[in-house]
């Protein structure tokens, strides 16, 4: 992209066409570039830096709970994938197959991992013998491949980056505890760092992971009222252990099957950041996850002392632990402002000759555009206060948006009306019969997002069939 095109006007407004707005933001903020491999994306420096911040934050939260990182092969022999019946049925239709290695055809096809349960199980069966070897809490950061027909940057692509944790425990209770623990790690991270409030709940039988006993999920609401499944945590019970023969001798020297979990969060979450916080000027990054938190923009930078003052300020702020840069390019200030806005940098710090004379700088918030004049001598404290205010305002705004787009339906007519006319979550009671779930999907395209941990009883009967209700469910159209 040349430097001579107008940047801001190139973004379609989200009210006009939300899908196009998303694509524009992803491209103009230089997060992603399409590659010549259909369905695969190139993650550019601006996008990858966000992923690095996510990795750093999540990885240290994982390690605090005793998780260790490993690396497993990217290939799975066909026979290994087939060991757990439900699992292979869920994944085989969407994997890529390697059939030739070097110049020779392979005697057994290898699939490129769509997820690594089977590899971890094969590994765990070899290294676990005794109760002393438990628990094992391993995780890997890697890419996986799923052969998707329709793809969108971050939201759905043939190859994506993620982490997948796989744990083994002595008891069913330990496995359940770990499953919920990791879901909470995800939810806390999303709220505290990404400023995205999450609904925590359990997936229905229909929506659970292939091979799992129970799948827990965090669900977020995007600006257009669609839901995004943002992370999942699965309790496998002893199903995989029985399929793969993962057994240990307990303290009484008796052979027992082990219990397992897995949990994953992917680059998809970057799509959530864009669609929860972005606006018609581009990306808006929460300060805690922004690779660059502040862009210093010198005003009239040709004047003596301005650039020096800008770089001196940068040094001070870097030393205080802020992630800041200075834009000393030969572009106009207006141009620099537009670029900072498109890229979602939380604040810009304007510094011109008059500011320097007055011993001040002007901090402009990306989300509200508030201009705050602060004394240079106290800029560290002021910047900290502004960023932290912005972080909590963004969470609050996202929460308000979600709550004001969460509806309750007590009759099927009401349910269909809301889905058709009011984008958002619909809370409604359900009888737990899969027939109703399928009917709702067919009639409205809405799917069950989760049975929230915080159950309420808003009616006695299923919103679809009128039989006695068993669960409150969040429903919605989803990415």
Query: Which residues are at the interface with its own copies (CB under 8 A)?
Result: 1-3, 33, 35-37, 40-45, 48-49, 51-52, 68-77, 80, 93-103, 109-110, 112, 119, 122-123, 126-127, 129-130, 132, 138, 142-143, 145, 147, 158-159, 161
Q: Which is nearer to its own copies, 120 or 216 (CB)?
A: 120
User: Smallest gap, in angstroms, from Cβ of residue 104 to its own copies?
Assistant: 9
Least Å distance, CB 406 to its own copies, is: 35
- Give the three-state DSSP class for 5: coil
d(CA 439, CA 437): 6
Q: How far is the CB of 293 from its own copies (least distance, A)?
A: 17
Of 75, 123, 80, 125, nearest in space to 101 by CA: 75
In whole angstroms, the minimum distance from the beta carbon of 361 to its own copies comes to 26
Nearest to its own copies of 140, 280 (CB atom): 140
Q: How far apart are CA 299 and CA 357, in angstroms?
A: 13
Nearer to its own copies, 67 or 363 (CB): 67
For the record, the structure tokens of 435 come out as 């027939």
Give 91 or 189: the residue with its C-beta nearer to its own copies: 91
Cβ–Cβ under 8 Å, residues 164 and 142:
yes
Instruction: Kindly state the smallest distance separating residue 76's Cβ from its own copies, in Å.
Output: 8
Nearer to its own copies, 46 or 235 (CB): 46
DSSP string, 242-256: HHHT-EEE-TTS-EE
Cβ distance to its own copies smaller for residue 145 or 246: 145
Helix 18-28 to helix 268-277 angle (10° resolution) is 110
Residue 261 beta carbon to its own copies: minimum distance, rounded to whole angstroms: 17
As a whole number of Å, the end-to-end CA separation of the chain is 29
**Residue closer to its own copies (CB basis): 109 or 470:** 109
Q: Closer CB to its own copies, residue 75 or residue 257? A: 75
Pairing assessment for the beta strands 425-430 and 406-408 based on DSSP bridges: parallel
Which CB atom, from 159 or from 355, has the smaller least distance to its own copies?
A: 159
- Which helix or strand (DSSP H or E) is residue 362 part of? strand 360-365
Output the smallest distance, CB 424 to its own copies, in A: 33
Q: What is the DSSP string of 336-351?
A: HHHHHHHHT-SEEEEE
Q: If you ran DSSP here, which 8-state letter would residue 13 be given?
A: P
- CA dihedral for 324, 327, 333, 334, sign (positive or negative): negative
Q: How far is the CB of 408 from its own copies (least distance, A)?
A: 39
Please give the structure tokens belonging to residue 154: 């971050």
Helical axes 172-192 vs 45-64, angle rounded to 10°: 140
Closer residue to its own copies (CB): 98 or 320: 98
SS3 234: strand
* DSSP-assigned letter for residue 278: -
Query: DSSP characters for 118-183?
Result: HHHHHHHHHH--BGGG--EEEEEEEEEE---SS-BTTTB-SEEEEEEEEEEESSHHHHHHHHHHHH
From the CB of 146, what's the least distance to its own copies, in Å? 9
Q: Are 97 and 76 in contact (CB under 8 A)?
A: no
ω before 427 within 30° of 0 (cis)? no
User: Of the two residues 152 and 427, which places its CB atom closer to its own copies in the complex?
Assistant: 152
Cβ of residue 90: shortest distance to its own copies, in angstroms? 13
How deeply is 132 buried, as exposed, middle or buried, from its count of CB atoms within 10 A (0-12, 13-18, 19+)?
exposed
Quote the least distance from Cβ 71 to its own copies, whole Å: 4
């Amino acid at each position: 992209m040349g430097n001579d095109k107008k940047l801001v006007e190139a973004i379609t407004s989200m009210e006009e066409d939300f899908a196009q707005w998303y694509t524009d933001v992803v491209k103009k903020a230089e997060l992603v570039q399409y590659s010549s491999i259909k369905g695969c994306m190139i993650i550019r420096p601006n996008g990858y830096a966000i992923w690095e911040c996510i990795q750093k934050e999540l990885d240290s939260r994982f390690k605090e709970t005793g998780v260790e990182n490993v690396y497993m092969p990217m290939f799975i022999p066909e026979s290994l994938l087939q060991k757990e019946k439900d699992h292979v049925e869920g994944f085989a239709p969407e994997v890529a197959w390697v059939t030739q290695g070097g110049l020779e055809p392979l005697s057994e096809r290898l699939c490129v991992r769509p997820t690594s349960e089977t590899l971890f199980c094969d590994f765990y069966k070899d290294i676990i013998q005794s109760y002393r070897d438990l628990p094992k809490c391993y995780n890997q950061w890697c890419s996986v491949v799923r052969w998707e027909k329709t793809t969108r940057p971050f939201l759905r692509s043939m190859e994506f980056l993620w982490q997948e944790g796989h744990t083994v425990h002595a008891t069913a209770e330990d496995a359940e505890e770990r499953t919920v623990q990791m879901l909470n790690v995800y939810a806390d991270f999303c709220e505290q760092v990404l400023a995205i409030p999450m609904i925590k709940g359990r997936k229905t039988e229909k929506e659970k992971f292939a091979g799992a006993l129970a799948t827990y999920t965090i669900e977020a609401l995007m600006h257009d009222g669609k839901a995004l499944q943002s992370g999942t945590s699965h309790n496998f019970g002893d199903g995989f252990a029985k399929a793969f023969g993962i057994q240990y001798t307990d303290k009484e020297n008796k052979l027992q099957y082990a219990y397992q979990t897995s949990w994953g969060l992917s680059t998809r979450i970057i799509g959530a950041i864009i669609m929860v916080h972005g606006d018609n000027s581009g990306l808006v990054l929460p300060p805690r996850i922004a690779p660059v938190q502040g862009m210093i923009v010198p005003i009239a930078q040709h004047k003596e002392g301005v650039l020096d003052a800008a770089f001196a300020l940068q040094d001070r702020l870097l030393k205080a632990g802020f992630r800041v840069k200075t834009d000393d390019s030969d572009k106009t200030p207006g141009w620099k402002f537009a670029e900072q806005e498109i890229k979602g940098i939380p604040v810009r710090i304007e510094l011109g000759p008059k500011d320097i004379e007055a011993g001040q700088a002007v901090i402009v918030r990306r989300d509200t555009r508030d201009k705050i004049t602060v004394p240079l001598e106290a800029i560290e404290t002021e910047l900290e206060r502004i960023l932290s205010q912005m972080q909590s305002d963004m969470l609050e705004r996202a929460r308000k948006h979600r709550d004001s787009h969460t509806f309750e339906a007590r009759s099927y007519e009401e349910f269909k009306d809301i889905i058709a006319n009011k984008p958002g979550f619909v809370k409604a009671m359900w009888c737990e019969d899969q027939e109703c779930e399928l009917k709702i999907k067919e009639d409205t395209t809405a799917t069950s997002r989760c049975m929230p941990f915080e159950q309420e009883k808003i009616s006695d009967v299923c919103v679809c069939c009128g039989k006695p209700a068993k669960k409150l469910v969040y429903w919605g159209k989803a990415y």
